[in-house]
């Protein structure tokens, strides 16, 4: 696996311990971004923000958290899909403007960010980051000067921006959540006593002991003020096209997104692989973490025993954040190590979530053979990548996608496997339990909801 992660957001309104709540929420969303993180709190219209490069536990120390006061807060964990990995691009973004102070946290990617930014710069706007999130913040602040409320400004901005996004906006009195018109990015709402929470995944609600209320609808704006919750129709809602890769890779398996269990979707993928690409093997293993549930599904359907074939070093960052191919190879060896006693002398089926360039899976196949596996059969719980993503998932251009220039038998030879099997795009509906194609699969099919 070598694609970029997304970001995670968490916001709470009405908690006397809001900074601590966001801190633990971000911990549970750390898998969505490991480059930078931050928390902004609102104490009677005074906004304080702590952010920096690194993991939640490293950046947000106890002393820093204890100094953040207020009853409204938003937080962010980041992997850069728009803008570089530099301190100034860390979120939340705090903006001072004519009406006061505004803070935002954003997951996703705008497809028209460059044109919007140029238009704003031509009018005299000065940007301090290279992110599309700052474009959103600037637009909201600009629209607020001519609208009666922050939520009306957000509504107007949603009619301008394009792409996939989940957005939290904190004003002096309100916490506002907004989801893009296709629902490409996940966003859920929960309650913790009298406090209202918005976050990227349900696992973050459970981390703070909150109750899940519902998913935010595509194109919906939800406003929390003085303990009251209001829903605002942006007027731009489209048919649901949630990101299929949340279920294949991004989300934690204990999350439920738009009513579908991530773990069950992955097990379904494994069951489909076992039916469509059977093989005569001794054990099934999964690449941690996203390949494990698919491997369990493959095992259940095929009758081939599941074994833990890899040990994962949890203290090593994701392999794709390494700047060079040689460093990526080394990181794979440090991050994953096969258990020789499990695979030695065995015919092994290895389940992974995807193949991008092919380097990572090739290294894993080689490690298994070096550990004594007599055969290595690869099964992938997604279709071949054929197209880039423009909505906040850094699936690269076609020239970097191995499936665009090689057939499946050729890929099998390149990665050194005895056989190779993928899902097909038509299998994804079954994977989600018959979800009637309410998802975006553009990285496999080229059928983009919007460009």
Report the C-alpha dihedral over residues 209, 210, 214, 217, rounded to 10 degrees: -100
Q: By the 8 A CB rule, do 153 and 144 touch?
A: yes
Write down the architecture of domain 8-238 according to CATH.
4-Layer Sandwich (3.60)
CB atoms within 10 A of CB 249: 24
**Band of pLDDT at residue 328, cut at 50, 70 and 90:** low
Over the chain, what is the mean pLDDT? 92
CB atoms within 10 A of CB 287: 23
Q: Is 203 a catalytic residue?
A: no
pTM of the model: 0.92
Query: What pLDDT is stored for residue 437 in this prediction?
Result: 84
User: What is the distance of C-alpha 34 from the center of its chain?
Assistant: 11
Query: What pLDDT is stored for residue 322 in this prediction?
Result: 44
Q: Which of 41-55, 299-313, 324-338, 350-364 has the lowest mean pLDDT?
A: 324-338
CATH match for 262-436 among 3.40.50.2000, 3.40.1190.20, 3.40.50.300, 3.40.50.2020: 3.40.50.2020
Coil, strand, or helix at residue 189?
strand
CB atoms within 10 A of CB 443: 25
Cβ burial of 448 (10 Å; 0-12, 13-18, 19+) is middle
Give the CA diameter of the chain: 72
Tens of pLDDT, residue by residue over 97-123, are 888 899 999 999 999 999 999 999 999
The residue to which tokens 């002096």 are assigned: 172
Residue 332 has pLDDT above 80, yes or no: no
Residue 7 has pLDDT above 90, yes or no: yes
CB atoms within 10 A of CB 233: 11
Q: What angle do CA 142, 145, 148 make, to 5 degrees?
A: 125
Q: By the 8 A CB rule, do 92 and 73 touch?
A: no
**Band of pLDDT at residue 315, cut at 50, 70 and 90:** low
Residue 25 has pLDDT above 90, yes or no: yes
Q: Cite the beta strand spans of 326-381 per DSSP E.
A: 336-338, 347-352, 375-380
DSSP label of 306:
B
% of the chain with per-residue pLDDT over 90: 83
As a whole number, mean pLDDT of residues 372-399 equals 93
**Band of pLDDT at residue 198, cut at 50, 70 and 90:** very high
Residue 1 has pLDDT above 60, yes or no: no
Domain ranges within the chain, ordered by starting residue:
8-238, 262-436
Phi, psi dihedral angles at 131 (to 5 degrees): -95, 155
As a whole number, mean pLDDT of residues 210-226 equals 97
Query: What pLDDT is stored for residue 2 in this prediction?
Result: 43
**Band of pLDDT at residue 85, cut at 50, 70 and 90:** low
Query: What pLDDT is stored for residue 323 in this prediction?
Result: 46
The answer to whether the bond into 92 is cis (omega within 30° of 0) is yes
Tens of pLDDT, residue by residue over 124-138, are 889 999 899 999 999
Tens of pLDDT, residue by residue over 220-248, are 999 999 989 999 999 999 999 999 999 99
User: What is the distance of C-alpha 81 from the center of its chain?
Assistant: 11
State the catalytic residue, choosing from 7, 243, 412, 440. 7
8-238 and 262-436: same fold?
no
Residue 324 has pLDDT above 90, yes or no: no
């Amino acid at each position: 696996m070598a694609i970029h992660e997304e970001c995670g957001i968490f916001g709470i309104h009405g908690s006397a311990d809001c900074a601590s709540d966001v801190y633990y929420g971000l911990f549970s969303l750390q898998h969505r971004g490991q480059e930078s993180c931050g928390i902004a709190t609102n104490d009677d219209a005074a906004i304080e923000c702590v952010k920096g490069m690194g993991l939640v536990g490293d950046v947000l120390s106890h002393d820093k958290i204890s100094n953040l006061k207020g009853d409204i807060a938003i937080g962010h964990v980041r992997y850069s899909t728009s803008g570089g990995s530099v301190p100034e691009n860390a979120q939340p973004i705090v903006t001072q403007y004519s009406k006061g102070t505004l803070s935002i946290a954003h997951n996703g990617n705008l497809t028209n960010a460059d044109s919007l930014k140029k238009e704003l710069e031509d009018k005299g706007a000065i940007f301090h980051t290279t992110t599309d999130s700052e474009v959103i913040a600037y637009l909201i602040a600009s629209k607020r000067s001519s609208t009666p409320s922050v939520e009306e400004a957000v509504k107007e901005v949603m009619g301008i921006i394009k792409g996939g996004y989940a957005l939290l906006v904190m004003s002096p009195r309100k916490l506002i959540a907004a989801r893009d018109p296709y629902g490409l990015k996940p966003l859920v709402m929960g309650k913790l006593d009298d406090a209202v929470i918005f976050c990227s995944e349900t696992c973050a609600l459970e981390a703070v002991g909150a109750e899940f209320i519902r998913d935010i609808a595509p194109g919906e704006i939800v406003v929390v003020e003085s303990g009251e919750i209001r829903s605002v129709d942006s007027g731009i809602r489209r048919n649901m096209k949630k990101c299929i890769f949340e279920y294949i890779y991004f989300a934690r398996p204990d999350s439920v997104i738009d009513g579908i269990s991530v773990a069950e979707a992955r097990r379904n993928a494994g069951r489909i692989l076992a039916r469509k690409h059977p093989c005569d093997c001794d054990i099934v293993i999964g690449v941690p973490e996203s390949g494990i549930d698919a491997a369990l599904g493959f095992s259940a359907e095929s009758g081939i025993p599941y074994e833990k074939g890899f040990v994962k070093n949890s203290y090593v960052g994701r392999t794709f954040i390494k700047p060079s191919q040689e460093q990526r190879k080394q990181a794979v060896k440090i991050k994953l190590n096969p258990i020789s006693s499990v695979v030695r002398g065995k015919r092994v089926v290895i389940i992974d979530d995807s193949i991008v360039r092919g380097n990572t899976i090739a290294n894993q196949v080689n490690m298994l053979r070096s550990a004594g596996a007599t055969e290595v059969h690869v099964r992938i719980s997604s279709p071949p990548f054929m197209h880039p993503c423009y909505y906040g998932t850094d699936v690269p251009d076609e020239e970097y996608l191995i499936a665009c220039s090689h057939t499946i038998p050729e890929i099998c030879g390149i990665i050194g496997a005895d056989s190779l099997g993928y899902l097909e795009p038509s299998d994804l509906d079954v994977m989600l339990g018959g979800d009637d194609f309410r998802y975006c699969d553009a990285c496999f099919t080229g059928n983009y909801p919007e460009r």
